């Protein structure tokens, strides 16, 4: 195994988009940032030099970080932010994972422009569990704001309202020909006829789930979240923020040009937002003047189509690094979540919503607050036994039962107001080392329904079942897939529905759990697991690195 060592210079640069210059924060001067290539078993060392005006961190999304929690990156969870002008070295091993992951800033909206692909190839001498491919191509979908994204978030925090929506979607940094002044900023994938390409699709968007299609072509899904899957044929990929999908693309059509399109999947009706983007697949020898062929796009609210893709793919149990489902459960959790309200802090014109409130979000009626200003990250507090940073009473169940998915909950009335207000807290759930946890994630309809992608740091988890309505153990447990479920790090919990996941808490440390829709994170849509140390040094959190930033 090798050592992959790189320097990430984070600094502000000016780029031209949508007919105007915009200052953005970027890594090594490019958008998206550099692709990190490694082989399974390699050690990755990234020297982060923060020349940006912001205090920030980087998270290596989906990397298990076994015994390297100090390198996970979420600010105030595993480290304090790297100050503007400071630096920090992330060091971790890439073991037991092959495929596509990605890295991104884990500080406010900075991840809109501070992100890039992570590509983990098999060890030398090992091959993919699919036929040889001609070329591998990362496809990064992200969102673009014609504004400073840190200010976009700050404005939202000040008013208590939802933040300004993005102005466009991009493919590998290109907005494409549907946007003003972007004709010559269209991503082109040049291909040869009769070959197989491996597209490594990453949804780095802050808030948009996407349908992804290429006219006249279909895909074979071979991996999700850097875990191999059984081959799954489809002409559309559905991908939520945080997730990755690896597909084989056969260039088996007539020589020509074909649009590749990413168009939002909006699970709720209230939030329509047209930020469709397209790039072009150009065959070698295609005429320069031909208008590319457009695929037929799904309706943006096509939940049955999204659900089919999200649930029909199964894990490849013969794949290297496959983990069988742990059969004995030590702890059951039932976690409800959704959007809610909190008291307005600064009442005044334009600063409050109805009922003197502002938007908030919660899990099991606890709205998570980062321990900012308390002198230590959660992981430091765990390691050094510092009190006053967090409490250990995150509940296993919601405090009250209600009809979680009743559509009537989406309107603000006396009943919803009574359940929408959740207290602010910094509560973690303590897990015994090596115990097996099963969680039912129950989406709620409070103030509106939406599909929420839930990401767990530090683990991959099996997805045993998913469905709509209120979870019902008697009805739904018999449907659990123990044989070949998906194993992933981010689960898109169906709109007005539920997902059941299971994992083994074999990685000591503190691990963040949150909705990967960036709008919902500052509202408190999060919790954390504190996994106790095991009995040996090889199962305990090691000391922090010397240059760990101070709070
Ligand atoms: Cu990709 Cu905590 O995030």
- Phi and psi at 32, nearest 5°, equal -60, 170
Region 72-86: what's the mean pLDDT? 98
Given this model, what pLDDT does residue 272 score? 66
Ligand 1 mean position to 65 CA, how many Å?
13
pTM above 0.90, yes or no: yes
Own/partner contacts of 26-32, CB < 8 Å, gap of 24 or more, are 26/113, 26/114, 27/114, 27/116, 30/173, 31/113, 31/173, 32/115, 32/116, 32/117, 32/140, 32/142, 32/172, 32/173, 32/204
Instruction: Give the list of residues 6+ apart from residue 478 with CB closer than 8 angstroms, or none.
Output: none
pLDDT of 28 > 80? The answer is yes
pLDDT for the residue numbered 543: 97
Rounded Cα distance, 166 and 409, in Å = 28
122, 222 contact by CB (below 8 A): no
- Which residues, judged by CB distance below 6 Å to any ligand atom, belong to the binding site of ligand 1? 59, 61, 74, 104, 106, 242, 455, 457, 512, 514, 516
Instruction: Write out the two tokens for 486.
Output: 């998906």
421/434 Cα distance (integer angstroms): 35
Ligand 1 atom showing the smallest separation from residue 61 Cα: 1
Q: Is the pLDDT of residue 354 over 80?
A: no
Closest approach atom of ligand 1 to CA 62? 1
Which of these ranges, 313-317, 387-391, 412-416, 514-518, has the smallest mean pLDDT? 412-416
Taking residues 344-348, report their average pLDDT: 69
Q: What percent of the chain has pLDDT over 90?
A: 89
Q: Which atom of ligand 1 is nearest to the CA of 521?
A: 2
pLDDT band at 413 (very low <50, low <70, confident <90, very high): confident
Please report which confidence band the pLDDT of residue 161 belongs to, taking 50, 70 and 90 as the band edges. confident
Ligand 1 centroid from CA 71, angstroms: 13
State mean pLDDT over 227-253.
98
Q: Ligand 1 centre from 265 Cα, in Å?
A: 20
Atom of ligand 1 at shortest distance to CA of 241? Answer: 1
At residue 453's C-alpha, the angle toward residues 101 and 464, to 5°, is 90
- pLDDT confidence of residue 65: 98
Kindly give the distance from the C-alpha atom of residue 155 to the centroid of ligand 1, in angstroms, as a whole number. Answer: 22
User: Sheet harboring 237-239: ordered strands across?
Assistant: 188-191, 277-283, 257-265, 209-214, 237-239
SS (H, E, C) 246-300: EEEEECCCCCCEEEEEEEEECCCCCCCCCCCEEEEEEECCCCCCCCCECCCCCCC
CA–centroid distance, residue 73 to ligand 1 (Å): 9
Q: Measure 106 CA to ligand 1 centroid, in angstroms.
A: 7
Structural domains for the chain: 1-126 (2.60.40.420), 127-313 (2.60.40.420), 331-539 (2.60.40.420)
Q: Which ligand 1 atom is the nearest neighbour of the CA of 104?
A: 1
Q: Which helix (H) or strand (E) holds 437?
A: strand 436-443
**With 80 as the cut, is the pLDDT of residue 388 above it?**
yes
| Cα 324 to middle of ligand 1, angstroms | 25
C-alpha 284 to ligand 1 mean position (Å): 38
Q: In the prediction, which pLDDT does 159 show?
A: 81
User: According to the model, what pLDDT value does residue 207 have?
Assistant: 94
In angstroms, the Cα distances linking 528 to 74, 120, 320, 521 are 11, 27, 29, 13
- Atom of ligand 1 at shortest distance to CA of 457? 2
In whole angstroms, give the CA distance from residue 63 to residue 78.
14
Q: Decide if pLDDT at 311 tops 70.
A: yes
Q: Which residue's C-alpha comes closest to atom 3 of ligand 1?
A: 61
Cis peptide before 32 (omega within 30 of 0): yes
Dist CA 509 CA 457 (whole Å): 10
Closest atom of ligand 1 to 512 CA is 2
Q: Which residues pair with 263 in a beta bridge?
A: 211
Which H or E run contains 464?
strand 461-468
Dist. CA 191 → ligand 1 center (Å)? 33
Shortest-distance Cα residue to atom 1 of ligand 1: 61
């Amino acid at each position: 195994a090798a050592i992959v060592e790189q320097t990430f210079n984070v600094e502000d640069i000016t780029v031209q988009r949508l007919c105007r210059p915009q200052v953005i924060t970027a890594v090594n001067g490019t958008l998206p940032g550099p692709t990190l290539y490694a082989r399974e078993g390699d050690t990755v060392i990234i020297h982060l030099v923060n020349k940006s005006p912001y205090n920030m961190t980087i998270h290596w999304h989906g990397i298990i970080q076994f015994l390297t929690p100090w390198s996970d990156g979420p600010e105030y969870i595993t480290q304090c932010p790297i100050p503007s002008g400071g630096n920090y070295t992330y060091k971790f091993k890439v073991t037991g994972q092959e495929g596509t992951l990605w890295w991104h800033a884990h500080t406010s909206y900075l991840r809109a422009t501070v992100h890039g692909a992570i590509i983990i190839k098999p060890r030398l001498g090992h091959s993919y569990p699919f036929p040889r491919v001609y070329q591998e191509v990362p496809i990064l979908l992200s969102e673009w704001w014609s504004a400073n994204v840190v200010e976009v978030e700050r404005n939202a925090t000040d008013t208590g309202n939802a933040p300004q929506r993005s102005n466009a979607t991009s493919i590998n940094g290109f907005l494409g020909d549907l946007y003003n002044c972007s004709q010559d900023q269209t991503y082109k994938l040049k291909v040869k006829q009769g070959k197989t390409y491996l597209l490594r699709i990453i949804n780095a968007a802050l808030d948009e789930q996407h349908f992804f299609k290429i006219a006249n072509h279909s895909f074979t899904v071979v991996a999700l979240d850097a875990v191999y899957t059984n081959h799954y044929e489809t002409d559309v990929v559905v991908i939520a923020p945080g997730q990755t999908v690896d597909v084989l693309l056969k260039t088996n059509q007539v020589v020509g040009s074909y649009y590749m399109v990413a168009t939002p999947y909006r699970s709720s009706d209230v939030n329509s937002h047209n930020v469709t983007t397209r790039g072009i697949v150009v065959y070698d020898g295609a005429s320069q003047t031909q208008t590319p062929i457009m695929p037929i796009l799904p309706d943006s609210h096509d939940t049955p189509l999204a659900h089919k893709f999200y649930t029909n793919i199964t894990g490849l149990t013969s794949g290297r690094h496959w983990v069988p489902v742990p059969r004995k459960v030590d702890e059951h959790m039932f976690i409800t979540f959704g959007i809610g309200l909190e008291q307005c802090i600064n009442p005044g014109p334009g600063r409050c919503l109805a009922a003197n409130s502002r938007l908030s979000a919660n899990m099991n009626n606890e709205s998570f607050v980062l321990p900012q200003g308390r002198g230590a990250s959660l992981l430091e507090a765990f390691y050094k036994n510092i009190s006053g940073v967090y409490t250990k009473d995150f509940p296993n169940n919601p405090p009250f039962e209600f009809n979680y998915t009743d559509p009537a909950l989406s309107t603000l009335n006396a009943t919803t107001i009574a359940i929408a207000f959740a207290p602010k807290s910094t509560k973690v759930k303590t897990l015994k080392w090596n115990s097996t946890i099963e969680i039912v994630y129950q989406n709620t309809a409070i103030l509106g329904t939406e599909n929420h992608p839930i990401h767990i740091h530090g683990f991959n988890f099996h997805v045993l079942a998913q469905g709509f309505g209120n979870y019902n153990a008697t009805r739904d447990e018999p449907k659990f897939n123990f044989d070949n479920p998906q194993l992933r790090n981010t689960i898109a919990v169906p709109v007005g529905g539920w997902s059941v996941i299971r994992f083994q808490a074999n990685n000591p440390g503190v691990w963040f759990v949150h909705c990967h829709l960036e709008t919902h994170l500052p509202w408190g849509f999060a919790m954390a697991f504190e996994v106790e140390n095991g009995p040996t040094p090889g199962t305990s959190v090691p000391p922090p690195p010397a240059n760990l930033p101070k709070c």
